Amino acid sequence: MTDTAPILFFDSGVGGLSVVAPTRVLLPRAPIVYAADSAGFPYGTRSEAEIAARVPALLGRLVERYRPRLVVIACNTASTIALAAVRAALDVAVVGTVPAIKPAAAMSRSRVIGVLGTAATVRQPYVDDLAARFASDCTVLRYGSAALVEMAEAKLAGTPPDPAALARELDGLFAQPRGAGIDVIVNACTHFPLLEAELAAVAPAGVRFVDGGPGIARRIVHLTDGQAWPAHADDVLVFTRLGEVERRLAAGLGFARVEAL
């Protein structure tokens, strides 16, 4: 393992930057390659079969090109559907992203938890298992939102989200039976922490949000413990489709290089 080998983060869009941020705090010298599957975006409205076929193939190409020391699937949808297949296909350690139901259950006093993700994520049996294992004494309500994914992408491109639109998406949780009792919401899509301040501003008072980003960052630190890092490395942003929209988005993200896969 050379000290210039990067950590490869992968998502359908730029949501995985919410995982990159806490990782950079803990590992400021780590070289980072961030890959966004812009040609396949958004994953949350795709079928399980499409994601299960697409993600391992793309990550195989990315690993071959960038030779990372570690792969992070910074996407709840891709992780809940394709993580096992990716691990079987790649000869490199792979970290997945799963809904932070365990810490949410530890935080909740009302014992009513909201899980806010994509439609593809919230319907997965993996989420059923997490709820059964870590929140069996809680009511776990779920809502899948494609609109929030689009709003997060638009925010990073310079368009602030509409508070009324955000409130409508949260109503998908609060309007459900027992939804008024929610005191913790799991941001179960890596795009959603990018909107956390705005979501908190329109949520009922006292509602808290939790996501898996900090825990993933700690896991990355553990898996790379003792490894050498370069004094300086240029971070790389990769798109599977690099058009005008992606170039405008990349302009404000601070990566040294922008490439197409």
Query: What tokens does 211 get?
Result: 């996501």
Residues marked as catalytic: 75, 189
Asked if 85 and 127 count as a contact pair (C-beta separation under 8 A), the reply is no
Query: What tokens does 251 get?
Result: 């302009």
Which position has the token pair 């809904």?
Answer: 99
As a whole number of angstroms, the distance between CA 240 and CA 136 comes to 40
Instruction: Select from 173, 174, 176, 171 the least CA-distant residue to 188.
Output: 173
**Total residues found in the chain within this entry:** 261
Which position has the token pair 């259950």?
Answer: 105
As a whole number of angstroms, the distance between CA 5 and CA 93 comes to 13
Q: Phi then psi for 186, rounded to 5 degrees?
A: -85, 120
